[in-house]
């Protein structure tokens, strides 16, 4: 049994996956498109920006193969969500054999946009709405 703490990358991955599952369970009975509530806003606000960034990319990866049945251009969060999933789909084509971890830590337009969005406290609600849209899309 190892007594060493997980690496930073392992920590981010674990936290993002846990948050993804938690938000997905919370959205299970939600309206479509998913709506923010006080609980999700407070949770998102206390989540580290690095974890928020990782979650946005993880959710984009998970949503990359699902068809968008609803228009995504109705708000900035929909535009982000669609761009992130398109980037994840492109990543798979350009990097065969790479996995979600490579996508979440790679250098590509979605990573830069996710970082900007996740670290911007003024756009906290936009980043949350984007994450919820991606999670709902990935789990539908």
pLDDT in tens, 7-22: 888 899 999 999 999 9
Neighbouring C-beta atoms of residue 75, cutoff 10 Å: 15
Question: Structure pTM?
Answer: 0.90
pLDDT in tens, 95-130: 999 999 999 999 999 999 999 999 998 889 999 999
127 near 52, Cβ under 8 Å?
yes
Kindly list the domain boundaries of the chain, sorted by start residue: 8-138
Per-residue confidence (pLDDT) for residue 9, from 0 to 100 = 83
89 near 60, Cβ under 8 Å?
no
Per-residue confidence (pLDDT) for residue 70, from 0 to 100 = 64
């Amino acid at each position: 049994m190892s007594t060493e703490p997980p690496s930073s990358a392992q920590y981010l991955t674990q936290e993002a996956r846990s948050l993804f599952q938690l938000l997905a369970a919370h959205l299970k009975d939600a309206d479509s498109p998913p709506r923010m509530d006080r609980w999700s806003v407070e949770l998102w606000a206390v989540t580290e920006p690095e974890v928020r960034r990782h979650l946005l990319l993880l959710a984009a990866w998970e949503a990359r193969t699902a068809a968008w049945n609803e228009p995504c251009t109705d708000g900035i969060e929909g535009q982000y969500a669609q761009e992130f999933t398109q980037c994840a789909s492109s990543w798979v084509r350009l990097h065969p054999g790479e996995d979600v971890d490579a996508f979440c830590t790679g250098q590509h337009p979605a990573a830069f946009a996710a970082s900007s969005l996740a670290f911007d406290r003024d756009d906290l609600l936009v980043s949350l709405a984007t994450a919820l849209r991606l999670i709902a899309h990935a789990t539908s």
